[in-house]
Amino acid sequence: MYFLLTGAFLVSCSEDDGIEPNPKPEGPEPTGNLELEIKDFVWKGMNEIYVYKDQVVVLGDDYFATQAELNEYLEEWDTPEDLFYDGVTIEEDRFSFITDDYIALENSFSGISETTGVDFRLYRFSNSDNLFGVVRYIIPGSPAENEDIERGDLFRRLNGQEITISNYREILASSSITFEIAELIDNTVTPTGESVTIGTQTITENPILVSKVLDVNGSPVGYLMYNSFVADFDEELNAAFAEFKASNVTDLIIDLRYNGGGSVRTATRLASMITGQFTNELFAKQQWNTKYQNYFLENNPDRLFNRFTDNIDDQPLNSLNLTKVYAIVSSSSASASELVINGLAPYIDVVKIGDMTVGKSQASVTLYDSPNFGRENANPEHKYAIQPLVYESVNANDVGVPFNGLTPDIEITEDIGNLGVLGELSDPLLATAIEAVKGNRSVIGIEKQPDWYNEYKESGALSPTYQRMYTDEIPEIPGQKRRLQLEKE
C-alpha cells in the first residue's frame, strides 16, 4: 500500500490522550555537555514518535538499559546531524530532517524568507557538472520586482562564477547576487552581456501569485496559481474563492506546478473550498507508529482522520461545490499539493495536467529540546530542532500517492524556451488546461524535456521547509513526562 502526506505537521498529543510514555534509560540526563544534550534530545524524540521507529534497532525502548549506556552510544557520533541521518532514521526516509536554526524554520512556515525575490529552477547540462538557471517568476514586493529580470530569463553565471553542482549552494547563500542574463539559441545557453545585481531582503511571500476569472467560450473559469500552503494566508485564499463564487465560475484550474507543500490544515480547507458538499466527510487517514496507532484505534479513532470543513476559525468558507477540478502539476508539486489531489480523488474528478509529481507520503512534526518537545521552555543554549516523519496517510479509499508521484492525465512539461506569461494563454500549461476544460484533450500536444539538460534544483530547495507539510498546533508528546521526571531525579 502507498501513502501520502509529508511535511512539517505539528501534532497535538496532550495528557488527555492517555498514552503511556515510552520507558527511558534509567539515570540522570547529561548536563554540562551541550552537544551530548542535543544528541540525547534527538534520540529521545525519535524514540517517542518516529513513524519508522520499529525499523531502527537502536530506537527500541529496551535497547539501552541506562542513561550511561545511551550516552556512550551518543558520543560515538561526531555531530547531532550524523546521529540523526546515519543513526536513527531509515535509509529510505527522504524527508525527516534536523536543523540548527529553528527560528529560520518557523519563519519559513509563515512564508518569511531572506531572498532576492527571483524564483528559479536550476538545470544540469547533460554529461556535465555545470548548471544553468531559468527564472520562473518574480515575487511581488521583493527586491527583484523593479529590476530588469523576468520570467523566462536564463543564466549560467552568478556572482561572476559558472554555476556548478559544487558551488551553487555557496553562491545562493550570498547577501547579494548578480545574475548574468542569457538566452537560448539553438539549444545553447548564450550570455546576452546583460546583468542585474539584486540584494536579498527578508520578505513574506503571498502564496497566491495569480487569481483571475477567464472567459472560456463564454463561460467563467477560475484560475488560481497557488505556490505554497501557508496557513497565515488562509483568509486571502478564502477571499479568492469568494471572487470565484461571485463570478459563478463553472470550472476551476488550480495551478500547483511550483507548490512544494505546506499546511495540512490549509490543504484541507482548499479541498473544502473547491467542493463544499462533503463537510465532515473523510479527507485523509493517518498511520502512526505502532504504539500511537493502536492507542488511537482503541480510544480515539477520530484522531486519525482529517475531515472536510466548512469554516476558517468559525468564519464560513467560500465553496464552489464543483464535481471536477483541473490541476496543473509538475515535478515541483509535492506534499500538500499531492494531498489535495489525492484527498479529492474519491469524491470528484481531478484532471491532472503537467508532469509527474514528487511523491511524498508522510507527515512530520517539529520537536524542540524541551521537557515535552514543545516550543515553550526550549533549551536556550542552542536552536536545534528535529522534523521527524510521524505518520503516513491515505485517502478515504485507502489509496495514497505512489513513491514516484502522481501521473498526469495530460502530459506536458514546461518548455524553457517558451514559458509564456503566467495567467495568460501564452503559457502552454494554462493553454493546455483550458483545452481540457473545453473537452479538447485529443488536440493537445505533449512537450517533452530535451535530452541536453536535466532538472536539478529549485531556488527554494535551500529553505528548511522545502517540500514539507505542516500545521501550527503545538505538540505535547505524552512520553516527555518521563523525560521531565528524569531531570528532577
Residue of 45, 3, 2, 6 lying closest to 466 (CA atoms): 6
pLDDT at 481: 42
Task: List the domain boundaries for the chain.
Answer: 1-111+205-448+463-489, 114-204
pLDDT at 183: 96
Who contacts 298 (Cβ-Cβ below 8 Å, separation ≥6)?
Answer: none
C-alpha cell at 87: 543513526
Give the Cβ contact number of residue 267 at 10 Å: 28
pLDDT at 7: 37
What is each CA distance from 241 to 70, 187, 238, 269, 288, in whole angstroms? 53, 41, 5, 11, 34
C-alpha cell at 230: 501557508
CATH number among 3.10.129.10, 3.30.505.10, 3.90.226.10, 3.40.640.10, domain 1-111+205-448+463-489: 3.90.226.10
pLDDT at 165: 95
N- to C-terminal Cα separation, the chain = 45
Q: What's the whole-model pTM score?
A: 0.85
Q: Say if residues 44 and 63 touch (Cβ distance below 8 Å).
A: no
Class of domain 114-204: mainly beta
Instruction: Determine the Cα–Cα distance for residues 293 and 301; give it in Å rounded to an integer.
Output: 9
C-alpha cell at 331: 515535478
pLDDT at 303: 86
Amino acid occupying residue 293: Q
pLDDT at 20: 61
Mean pLDDT by 10 residues, the chain (489 residues): 35 44 72 91 94 96 95 97 98 91 82 87 95 97 97 98 95 95 96 97 95 97 96 96 98 97 90 98 94 88 93 96 98 94 98 94 87 91 94 92 93 94 97 94 63 87 54 44 37
Sign of the Cα torsion 305, 306, 310, 314 reads positive
C-alpha cell at 23: 520507558
Residue of 308, 312, 306 lying closest to 242 (CA atoms): 312
pLDDT at 480: 41
pLDDT at 309: 98
Strand pairing of 161-162 and 362-364? Answer: unpaired
Q: Say if residues 111 and 205 touch (Cβ distance below 8 Å).
A: yes
138 burial type by CB count under 10 A (0-12 exposed, 13-18 middle, 19+ buried): buried
